């Protein structure tokens, strides 16, 4: 099955494919194990920083190796790439999905760059995602209110979204419906679920939900029922990794063979991802 086939299956059957960021081999291994245990298709993705750290060719090759080992589809997405150069890195390395995030540019510049990337991606048989309204925050734990941060940007207008999709030719639209990147200690995120359905109807393309960390699970599931087929998760994975690593180092001060200490990291991330797969409804779909 192609990427579009999987996204269409998700849309038809009302589930979402989890898109999980990887910044190291331990995280990669944990996510792949979770997918294998749950018999779920997944998307492995890397941001520009993660891509440079891991090397794009490595990301593609490791995904292929784990896909074969665990017997599940592992698609590869280039996440939030803001320049043509970064997008070309993913295209040339053989990523399956290319997310061109030109949302910080003017509308006309955003359209021009996203359309160019979509054309280049489609020429290689790849899928392209675009972002109209900049989804704020960052993949970290923040103090302050999630609602206050989300309120800095006007939510996506369905009519503008439809025009953007039409002129750029993208396959996936990153909607801003109250979702922002990161975890916030000053209050949880709140999605505008009716708006999700309106954007889905207006654009007619696949929708992705960025910044899912910290969004109440019932809201994520409601968004999926209204058209979201790809849910991105990063900060919660980073948080589990960091918290577990700190405890492992504290409990094992005399251990220097670090691979012996990393199993708890893999285990805890695996459990998190398995839970998210259940929330997204993709378990058993592979």
Which residues belong to the active site? 79
Q: In the chain, which ranges are continuous DSSP H helix?
A: 3-13, 25-38, 48-54, 56-70, 84-93, 107-123, 146-150, 158-168, 193-203, 217-225, 235-251, 258-261, 263-280
Backbone angles phi, psi at 201, to 5 degrees: -65, -40
Q: What is the 3-state secondary structure (H, E, C) of 32-60?
A: HHHHHHHCCCEEEEECHHHHHHHCHHHHH
Q: How many CB atoms sit inside 10 A of residue 126's CB? A: 22
C-beta separation of 184 from 214 below 8 A? yes
Residue 94 makes CB contacts below 8 A (sequence gap 6+) with 60, 76
Residue 264 makes CB contacts below 8 A (sequence gap 6+) with 244, 247, 248
């Amino acid at each position: 099955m192609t990427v579009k086939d999987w996204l269409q299956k998700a849309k038809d059957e009302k589930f979402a494919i989890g898109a999980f960021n990887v910044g190291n081999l331990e995280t990669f291994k944990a996510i792949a194990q979770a997918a294998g245990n749950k018999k779920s298709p997944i998307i492995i993705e890397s941001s520009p920083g993660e891509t440079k750290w891991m090397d794009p060719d490595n990301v593609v090759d490791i995904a292929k190796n784990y896909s074969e080992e665990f017997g599940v589809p592992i698609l590869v997405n280039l996440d939030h790439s803001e320049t043509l150069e970064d997008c070309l890195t993913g295209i040339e390395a053989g990523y399956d999905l290319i997310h061109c995030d030109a949302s910080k540019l003017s509308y006309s510049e955003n359209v021009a760059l996203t359309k160019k990337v979509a054309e280049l991606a489609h020429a290689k048989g790849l899928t392209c995602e675009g972002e109209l309204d900049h989804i704020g925050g960052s993949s970290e734990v923040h103090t302050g209110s999630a609602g206050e941060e989300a309120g800095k940007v006007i939510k996506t207008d369905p009519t503008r979204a439809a025009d953007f999709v039409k002129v750029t030719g993208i396959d996936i639209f990153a909607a801003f419906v109250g979702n922002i990147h990161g975890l916030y200690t000053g209050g949880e995120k709140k999605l505008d679920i009716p708006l999700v359905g309106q954007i889905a109807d207006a654009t007619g393309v696949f929708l992705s939900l960025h910044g899912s960390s910290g969004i109440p699970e019932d809201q994520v599931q409601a968004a999926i029922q209204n058209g979201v087929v790809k849910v991105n998760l990063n900060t919660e994975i980073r948080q589990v990794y960091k918290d577990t690593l700190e405890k492992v180092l504290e409990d094992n001060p005399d251990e220097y063979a670090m691979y012996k200490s990393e199993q708890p990291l893999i285990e805890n991330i695996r459990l998190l991802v398995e839970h998210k797969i259940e929330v997204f409804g993709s378990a058993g779909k592979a």
